């Protein structure tokens, strides 16, 4: 299922400390497909307080990616709002040695 261009999949590489696939929106992780026992689990990473979603068991990474794409496609507008409201988290080397308190993302307007 085709998603808008601002959504993209990140596949785990052998050097990564995680396995599976992750769907991101503007660099913000939304969903991760990860191993669970003898199958795979679709783990919702971006919580929507207005519409909580349980994790879903699937047979494979590909099945998890298909389920995730349908889920995200049905919520494109809401996911964009939730991502725009996320606080900015800068790595320590960009913080000038001190934590940044109250730093929030600039509101983003999406069209379409």
Over the stretch 46-80, which tens digit does the pLDDT of each residue have?
A: 888 888 888 999 999 999 999 999 999 999 999 99
Q: Which residues contact 26 (CB under 8 A, 6 or more apart)?
A: 6, 83, 108
- Count the residues in the chain: 112
66: Cα within 13 Å, side-chain hemisphere: 7
Beta strands, E only, the chain: 7-11, 21-25, 28-36, 39-44, 56-58
> To the nearest whole percent, how much of the chain has pLDDT over 90?
60
pLDDT at site 101: 47
Q: Torsion over CA of 80, 83, 28 and 32, rounded to 10 degrees?
A: -70
d(CA 93, CA 4): 32
Task: Give the mean model confidence (pLDDT) for residues 33-53.
Answer: 90
């Amino acid at each position: 299922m085709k998603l808008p261009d601002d959504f993209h999949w990140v596949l785990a590489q052998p050097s990564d400390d995680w396995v599976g696939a992750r769907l991101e929106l503007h660099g913000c992780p939304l969903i991760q497909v990860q191993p669970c026992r003898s199958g795979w689990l679709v783990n919702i990473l971006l919580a929507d307080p207005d519409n909580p979603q349980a994790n879903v068991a699937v047979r494979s990474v590909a099945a998890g990616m298909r389920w995730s794409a349908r889920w995200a496609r049905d919520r494109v507008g809401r996911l964009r709002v939730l991502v725009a409201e996320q606080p900015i988290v800068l790595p320590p080397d960009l913080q000038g040695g001190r934590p940044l308190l109250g730093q929030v993302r600039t509101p983003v307007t999406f069209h379409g």
